[in-house]
Amino acid sequence: MVRLWGILKANFRLSIQNNLLLAVLYLLIVPVLRSIENLNEVYSAECLEQSVILIGILLIVPLHAAEQGAAIREVVYTRKIPQWMILLIRTIMAIIILLFLTGIFAEIMILENCTFPYMSYVIGTAISELALGGVGYFTAVLSDSVIAGYLVSIGYFLFNYLGYISDTNIFWLFSMGADDFEAKIWLLGISILLITITLIYMKKKKVC
């Protein structure tokens, strides 16, 4: 248990701590950029899916960034714990934090007289966050470039925001406003698939 806590603490500091601060700062800015008061279900969904989900990019995409330097990578691959397992631990931690931050923001919206199904919207938003970040995470690891990961995630968001990905597409991020939660099931499946492929890739890469 002591060793597990040490691993969690070390990886939190290495790959999540600074990104968490950025995510919190961003969420504090959201109410300045758009209203979060007295919103109905449709506008609440719009706020969560078009603003809050961007923390998925901040928290998920750079999970492998610390090891992308050649010198650090050599040290990493000599550790007893394989890198794919370290990434799995970081991913789980990041998902828990995403749920926590999204839940807090949604609760603040409820306190500001917004009306929406709290639990459904928190889970739906978290799934879109995971999908948005997962695409960049997958790209960052396979290309060994966190910048490429950021660009892909940002591009994915813009394609949705500008309407190039429509409500009939399984990659649609903004389905809650249309009361379509079936799309979230597809997004969750895609996210799990991308993360699984990423971890398998790292496991094979370690062996090679």
With beta carbons less than 8 A apart as the criterion, state whether 55 and 101 touch. Answer: yes
What pLDDT was estimated at residue 71?
Answer: 47
Work out the burial of residue 78: count CB atoms within 10 Å of its CB; fewer than 13 is exposed, 13-18 middle, 19 or more buried: exposed
Nearest to 160 by CA among 69, 84, 168: 168
What pLDDT was estimated at residue 82?
Answer: 84
Which two structure tokens, joined as six digits, stand for 180? 């379509």
Lowest mean pLDDT among 7-21, 31-45, 109-123: 7-21
With beta carbons less than 8 A apart as the criterion, state whether 112 and 47 touch. Answer: no
pLDDT in tens, 157-166: 999 999 899 8
Which two structure tokens, joined as six digits, stand for 169? 């597409």
Q: How confident is the model at residue 131 (pLDDT cuts 50, 70, 90)?
A: very high
Four-residue CA torsion sign, 151, 152, 157, 160: positive
Widest pairwise Cα distance in the chain = 56
Would you list the domain boundaries of the chain? 2-207
User: What does the pLDDT average to over 176-186?
Assistant: 90
Number of Cβ within 10 Å of residue 178's Cβ equals 12
Number of Cβ within 10 Å of residue 198's Cβ equals 23
pTM for the whole structure = 0.89
Nearest to 116 by CA among 174, 28, 43: 43
With beta carbons less than 8 A apart as the criterion, state whether 53 and 129 touch. Answer: yes
Task: Indicate the average pLDDT of the chain.
Answer: 89
Q: How confident is the model at residue 130 (pLDDT cuts 50, 70, 90)?
A: very high
Give yes or no for residue 36 having a pLDDT over 60.
Answer: yes
Which two structure tokens, joined as six digits, stand for 197? 């492929």
